[in-house]
Amino acid sequence: MFSKNIIFKNFLQKKNINVKKKINNILKKELIISNKLLSSFNRNYKYNYKKETLNKYKNFTTINLIGMGGSILGTEAICDFLKFKIKKKINFYNNLDSKINLKNKKNTLNLIVSKSGNTLETISNFNIILNSQKKNKNIVITEKKSSFLTKLANKLKADIIEHKNYIGGRYSVLSEVGMLPAELLGLNERKFKRLNYLIKNKHFLNQLIYNVNFIYNCVSKGRKNSVILNYDESSKNLFKWYQQLTAESLGKDNKGIFPIISSMPRDNHSLLQLYLDGPKNNFFTFFGTINEKSNQLSNKNLFGKFSILKNKNLNQIIKAQRQATQRVFKRKKIPFRSFEILSRNEETVGELFTFFVLETILLGRLMKVNPFDQPSVELIKTETTKSLI
Ligand code: PA5
């Protein structure tokens, strides 16, 4: 258990006090070195926007969010995980599609997020959306420097909110990047901020440290695929966020962890055979929820062997499948950890963001790669520009 919201069961392993000391020291140092970068994970973080700015936009019922990678994935994760709390409509433009599905309604606000202000996909999408609208309001979140986007925002008289230059895209979910849209959607930004609370929680720290150590050992022995067995439809985007965090932070210098997301129980019927009997190059994360409302099966048409489904709801069936799969993994000695979500709220997703960010940074340090850069992403950006000239 991290807090009352999540039950975490770590990989089965022998505890080693020397390992604990070593990783704990790295963590202590990191919390100092990355103090600024991680500042948005704490409640005393100062945003570059005022509540009055948000009030100006509170009557907009639809938001078009335009961005790429770390500029949008965090908000998508939040909106997916907490969709039952969100009353407004949000459209995500997170890829280049040869035909944009334009959903322009009255009262639409465009929110454009790009740290660099020069991302081709974001600029192309914004251009087409802008051209399709008669009247619109725009908020641009970008670094305080001259860029295409700051020039365009000035031309459009858009509100410009600073994206702090020391917070990298994939670490920005709890900064202006994810919290401004969250607030516009009626969520409570303060509740997402759990770093201070969690790092004072001994149990959380122990779990984090042993978890990092286990993954590091897996990777060192060639188990380099992190397979997420996700039993919660509303967490799909959380794991897309995790996928980017892991891949971009650790995939360099011929090292890395390959994050794979499996939709369960669907993938029992496609990938599970490979997971169970294929090459031993994976470690697994089970992710599911309990206690949530779900459709009840009708007893009327259940008989014979399927009488076992009488008085059951879909969540009970999903849980049974998750537990059964875990038992098989245990029997076959396949390494796995598990997360069980007890309540779905801002704190829960804030804790998950914090856990995975700390895990990634610590793994980066142990693997001796810089978890904060993405040199090859930049490479593609430069090469694409050359192709378009
Ligand atoms: O995490 C990252 O740094 C990247 O995924 C960026 O967020 C992505 O490339 C988009 O860049 P920008 O925010 O500059 O538009």
Kindly list the domain boundaries of the chain, sorted by start residue: 6-32+193-367, 46-190
Q: Edge-to-edge strands of the sheet including 336-341?
A: 6-9, 336-341, 282-289, 225-230, 258-263
pLDDT at residue 102, rounded to an integer: 80
Fold of 46-190: Rossmann fold (3.40.50)
pLDDT at residue 1, rounded to an integer: 58
CA of 377 to the centre of ligand 1 (A): 9
- Mean pLDDT of the chain, nearest integer: 94
pLDDT at residue 167, rounded to an integer: 97
CA neighbor of 215 nearest in space, from 354, 363, 330: 363
3-state DSSP assignment of residue 7 = strand
Same fold, 6-32+193-367 and 46-190: yes
| CATH for 6-32+193-367 (3.60.21.10, 3.40.50.620, 2.40.110.10, 3.40.50.10490) | 3.40.50.10490
pLDDT at residue 99, rounded to an integer: 83
> Cα(211)–Cα(208) distance, rounded to whole angstroms?
5
Sign of the Cα torsion 128, 132, 135, 137 reads negative
Q: Edge-to-edge strands of the sheet including 108-113?
A: 89-93, 62-66, 108-113, 137-142, 159-162
CA of 117 to the centre of ligand 1 (A): 10
Pocket of ligand 1 (CB under 6 A): 68-71, 114-116, 119, 122, 168-170, 248, 374, 377
> Cα(151)–Cα(153) distance, rounded to whole angstroms?
5
Q: What residue ranges of the chain have pLDDT lower than 70?
A: 1, 104
3-state DSSP assignment of residue 206 = helix
Best of 65, 68, 118 for a ligand 1 pocket test (most atoms within 8 Å of beta carbon): 68
Q: What is the pLDDT of residues 258-267, one digit of tens each?
A: 999 999 999 9
Q: What is the pLDDT of residues 133-185, one digit of tens each?
A: 888 899 999 999 999 999 999 999 999 999 999 999 999 999 999 999 999 99
pLDDT at residue 379, rounded to an integer: 85
> Quick one: which atom of ligand 1 is closest to the CA of 72?
7
